[in-house]
A and B are shown apart, each in its own frame.
Chain A
């Protein structure tokens, strides 16, 4: 973190008072302008302090514990790869949330869209009719199936929001619950058998056939191509949002739907399109998650909380698709480093969940961080999209 200038600091020698005042003012201005970067970093710092407090209460040494956490995430190449693999689904889930967020939509349903995308992908990836399809065709087909599944599941709240004003948060919460039960049924039902692998010891689907699985990026390194895919999605999402005319419409609808309508943009259409894109990205995320690790099958609990973590990550990144990448890496490294912390410092891995929740609290409550670190509030009407909380309930 860069050294932050403060009012009242000693002026450097050999400069006149006017120069010094101007210099200090410029530094201060820089300090304020760096807020988009520094605020999340300060928030992380505060969250780590909260975590340290919990560690002290639990009788552990915070330095030791955080050391183990860091070593667990980045200690050797193998762990680093594991951290990257672990972070990949979070990148994609975070982008899915961020895209909808820019359109002023709070897509809590990424959780369900990941599941449905994973399900449709696995369904296509295990279809006997497609056996023998070459990988060049099969992998894109599986991804497409996942994207369609996710888009379908996100399209429902999109259409309902656009046509009836039903708030997407509640509809997606409901659809998450439904998706969880549907997937549970499809994956565990024996009579009729739908996607259950009858030979497995626990309820799960069969593996996607090898030709349909995402290959390794570099053969033999265990780095899946999903990582590259996730970065490409992030770059594409950034270009879409900040450079394209569709992105201009999405951002306008997200910040001021009324002005968008007056300017001739079709707000319902943009809402639906944004949800479809968001859901398609989530669906691909489902496939990436299914392919993570050595296996390529879906279990009822595989994607638990990935979507909710995506919300947290998108919030930390403030809806910026590129900033989602470091935020997701933070998330993935906390989770992949936790087991070593558990062994070495005798702390439950769930401690990192407390840290994560604190990160969101401090990032969302950036007034707290700004007050503590004396960063001035955002000027003007603020650049962030419409608060998610507008339009609660069914209002048009």
Chain B
């Protein structure tokens, strides 16, 4: 790891050398070539397996109602075709020396194609060979909400140079304390206290984040250690409140945030389904746009990113590093708090112990999957949401492999495996903000 005090190096000298030697030491192969080869092999193998699938057509429906289009596919044909496309993307990857601009997009496309392939192949093994793709997509997006909001929470912190593995705790505290407020003030019966409770959840996230900021920025506690403590603290506080307040008062089973139709959009023919949802889910899309603009188009966003990349350089330009980091971490905490409200106030209408169930950690995975950029992180969140939605769907469809039902646990594990592969540098290298994890001490 380069120290930030390392002298700058004369690197512009011969840029042409960089291109043709950017490959591994011993094998002489670039990473793209290795991945490309892997995709080629896997694609060919899947195509070969796909030919053996039953030829009975499966039906993919798009939307509900009579006008909803439907697509009948023969798995024995469509799976090999998709697998062939994956193999082709691998081939483009192998040729990255000749097609330098195409290799990465092709491999990304090849990766995305795995989703329909798995879908079709699984349906062909199922007793009910049809499914509504739009509903599945909608469900994936809905389940992605807390993951996506958590990923944005992490994005703000880490772009400013503070690691946040306490997203889980911030969400849990938001879910728990938001609900306690809702129960005590509004008896969990809807109305304005429900919306006020969302605000309380957001404020709770902000307070947990402020604690994280205090520990890591002011007291320079190891950022991961502080995150661990935040998570434990949130578990302790919320479980305590649940047994001390929620259960004795008999709160819960109440009203959740209502479903809203977006005028115009919700009545669109096929996609209308996607624009009908509950407020936190719908606000997620707006928040993503806002975050993208704030971080990458505003002056404050430039400062946040600079503080995360090189705090000392920012300081020499008169930027208040401590203040900027506090702001970013606390805004992140607010987003995590909102993600927490999704569980208790938008989805279930009660609070259970540890109800965030590891989603905060998955959010972190989505953030890294997206290489610290908002939209790719959103893509990662949707991937995790899809695997969860699809796992649930599988139980209904009763798909079988080798005479046994496909375990939902396997599908749920898939995104974690993918994240590990991404992290191991499979699809391009994930480069975090340079100063992340480094405590900053103001010059005195």
Contact B409 A182 (CB under 8 A): yes
List residues of chain A with CB within 8 A of the CB of B404: 191-192
Contact A312 B368 (CB under 8 A): no
Contact B1 A312 (CB under 8 A): no
Looking at the complex, which one of B163, B236, B419 makes contact with A392 (CB distance below 8 Å)?
A: B163
Would you give the 0/1 interface string for A220-259, flagging 1 where the beta carbon is closer than 8 Å to chain B?
0000000000000000000000000000000000000000
Give the Cβ gap from B23 to chain A, nearest Cβ, in Å. 15
Give the Cβ gap from A33 to chain B, nearest Cβ, in Å. 23
Looking at the complex, which one of A170, A181, A361, A390 makes contact with B437 (CB distance below 8 Å)?
A: A390
List residues of chain B with CB within 8 A of the CB of A30: none
Give chain A's interface residues, CB within 8 Å of chain B: 54, 58, 106, 108, 156, 160, 164-167, 169-171, 173-175, 177-178, 181-182, 184-185, 189, 191-192, 305, 308, 311-312, 315, 347-358, 360-361, 364-365, 367-368, 387-395
Given contacts A388-B222, A389-B222, contact A174 B163 (CB under 8 A): no
List residues of chain B with CB within 8 A of the CB of A173: 165, 361, 364-365
Residue of B with least CB distance to A157: B420
B356 within 8 Å of A (CB atoms): no
Contact A367 B416 (CB under 8 A): no
Give the Cβ gap from B352 to chain A, nearest Cβ, in Å. 13
Looking at the complex, which one of A175, A178, A349, A395 makes contact with B432 (CB distance below 8 Å)?
A: A395
List residues of chain A with CB within 8 A of the CB of B226: 361, 364-365
B293 within 8 Å of A (CB atoms): no
Give the Cβ gap from A194 to chain B, nearest Cβ, in Å. 10
Given contacts A160-B424, A181-B409, contact A364 B240 (CB under 8 A): no
Contact B244 A360 (CB under 8 A): no
Residue of B with least CB distance to A166: B423
Given contacts A177-B362, A181-B413, A347-B244, contact A167 B228 (CB under 8 A): no
Given contacts A164-B424, A166-B423, contact A390 B407 (CB under 8 A): no
Given contacts A165-B425, A392-B436, contact A177 B228 (CB under 8 A): no
Contact B409 A353 (CB under 8 A): no
List residues of chain B with CB within 8 A of the CB of A395: 1, 431-432
B224 within 8 Å of A (CB atoms): yes
Contact B232 A356 (CB under 8 A): yes
Give the Cβ gap from A376 to chain B, nearest Cβ, in Å. 16
List residues of chain A with CB within 8 A of the CB of B223: 387, 389
Contact B232 A308 (CB under 8 A): yes
Looking at the complex, which one of A191, A192, A353, A391 makes contact with B239 (CB distance below 8 Å)?
A: A353
Given contacts A361-B233, A365-B219, contact A348 B240 (CB under 8 A): yes
Given contacts A192-B404, A347-B244, A348-B239, contact A392 B365 (CB under 8 A): no
Contact A166 B236 (CB under 8 A): no
